[in-house]
Structure 1
Amino acid sequence: MAILILSQGKCGLSKCITHYLVAMAVADLLVIFTDVILSTVIPFHFQGTYLETTPARSLLHVLLSATTDISVWFTVTFTIDRFVVICCRKIKTKYCTKKTADLFITTVSVLFCMKNIPWYFVYDPEYVVDNVPWGCTLSLNFYTETMWVAFHSISIILTPFLPFILILLLNALTARHILVTSRIRGKLLDHSKSENHTDPEMESRRKSIILLFTISGSFILLWMTYVGFFFYARISNISGYTGPHDPVYITEQSSYMLQLLSTCTNTCIYAVTQTKFREQLKNAFKYPFTSIGKLLK
């Protein structure tokens, strides 16, 4: 629904922002489809399907890693775009365009699809039945060979540590710039002429800031448990769990749940922060009933 509404371009947002938001919504939907539906729901309720064969599981892991990376980095590109709009006025007109947005979206998608191809060759079958490999287990070479160790380290750095740092840094610089410019503009405005005087530029910037901080802030909060658990597991050298009631196991699974939840929050953020998006959403829900009413008349 969010993809359809945003694609129509009737939410009062620029084409550049709209393209980023549509791309983020598509990527989030793909994460839910690959991780929740294909990797969890179907194997749990329909055991013994082709999705449990080794080639299918390996391909699914490639898709899962690629969609997760793309979803995360679309949030980064959106944050960079808003940072340029607010803090870098000189290059705003050249950078913040529909063409540039399309270029970044395409580049991020292609690069991370290619980057995750090696995951297909990491897994070995758990067992073989009638020459058909079933199940998936990490190859021992993954833990010993320098090439695979380096690949795994780069993957972890790219998602989520580098995005985490970039989003925190860019938001801090943006917030600092906003405070400085707000003080300067407040001194320049003559409020004595009109008590109800408003600054159109600051109002427009305020809406952009709310959207930026809610989206990037949601990402940081929901990925924080995953990042914290990663460091804890490495420092404590955790190798296993005592059972499903082990606090460490519960924390790990909770971090995965929150990570997946981060792909579902953006639509709620649009609805809360964007008045015109809410109007379009209401119209979409009303449309079937109004159409039936017209037919009956």
Structure 2
Amino acid sequence: MCGLSKCVTRYLLGMAVADLMVITFVVILYQIINAYFPHSFFNLTIICRCILTMIFISMDCSVWLTVAFTFDRFIAICHQMLRTKYCTEKNVTVVITVVFCASIVENVPYYFIYEPREVANGVEWSCYVKSSFYTLPIWAAFLWLETILSPFAPYVLILLFNSLTIRHIILANRVRSGLRGNSSTVKHTDPEMENRRKSIVLLLAISGSFIILWMVNLICYICVQFTDTQFLDATYNDPFTIAELSGYMLKSLSSCTNTFIYAVSQTKFREELKNVIKWPMVLVATATNCIK
């Protein structure tokens, strides 16, 4: 795959699958269908519960695969001794499987926190968070656990691993510059240092993108934990509800940007993308020449 190692390829494929799940369940089955087909089959309470549960599962898969990939790159760059043992296809497969399974187990309780928003002719429609979700101790503990696992823990871990990786790269560059005598009047071109600079930009882009796009959602979680505010409890004119929905939108976007950033940063991927874009024009030009 575009000249990447098999480990990186598997991580990117795993992240792409998780991101595709986010697009399917969040954007298509929830946002678009709710907005344009409010009384469709997908808006039945039992189906709505499944969709909402899958939303949380896919979000967690996307976020924690990003964390796992960040840790993998940290090991590959900063700990050469562990690289051969940890960065293997078998370990990557195990990590991806564990992330998917753990996300499913962690988010299954979400299925049971919703009740019908309305009942028409004996049919239950839409979903609404039960009031007991905010009062029962077990649900309060679950909400705290979810807040810690997503987004607090990914926030801290992505920042930590990327910071340590960037620090290692900077220190290695200083040593390399000293050995090559870059302090002299003669300027040397060093492809290795250029690659390291690109790695720093990539890691900063990943960290910055995650932090910015999750910030609103993180603030909303804090407000719910420490105030009397409830999720989706007010009208769409309420400032908190507007902020909450904006946070969901940005969080969904975050789940789709990291794979894109990692992929586009690869030179061979960009070359293949250019070939795909040029292919229709080449096909038309060839057909035109044949006709002539």
Q: TM-score, normalised by structure 2?
A: 0.87
- Aligned pair count? 288
Work out whether residues 20 and 78 of structure 1, in 8 Å CA contact, stay in contact via their aligned partners in 2.
Answer: yes
**Alignment partner of 1:84 is 2:61:** no
State the partner residue of 1:144: 135
Q: CA RMSD in A?
A: 2.6
Q: Where do 1:1-297 residues align within 5 Å?
A: 9-10=1-2, 12-191=3-182, 195=186, 197-239=188-230, 243-266=235-258, 268-270=260-262, 273-294=265-286, 297=290
- Give the secondary structure class of the aligned counterpart of 2:124: strand
SS of 1:251's partner is: helix
Moved >6 Å (runs of 4+): none
Structure 2 unaligned spans of 5+: none
CA distance in 2, matches of 1:151, 1:192: 56
Separation in structure 1 between the aligned mates of residue 69 and residue 60 of structure 2, nearest angstrom: 14
- Structure 2 CA distance, aligned partners of 1:87 and 1:73? 21
Aligned to 1:180, the other structure's residue is in SS state: helix
Q: CA deviation at 1:63?
A: 0.6
Evaluate the alpha carbon distance shift between residue 209 and residue 275 of structure 1 in structure 2; reply closer, same or farther with a 3 A threshold.
Answer: same
- The Cα of 1:191 is off from its aligned counterpart by 4.7
Amino acid at match of 1:218: S
Unaligned runs of 5+ in 1: 1-8
Q: Normalising to structure 1: TM-score of the pair?
A: 0.85
141-150 or 187-196, which deviates more: 187-196
Query: Quick one: which amino acid aligns to residue 160 of structure 1?
Result: P
Percent identity at matched positions?
45
Counterpart CA distance in 1 for 2:176 and 2:266 is 25
Checking the alignment, whether the CA contact within 8 Å between 2:147 and 2:221 is kept in structure 1 is no
Query: What is the CA-CA distance between 1:258 and the residue it aligns to?
Result: 1.5
Going from structure 1 to structure 2, the CA distance change for 1:136 and 1:103 (only over 3 Å counts) comes to same
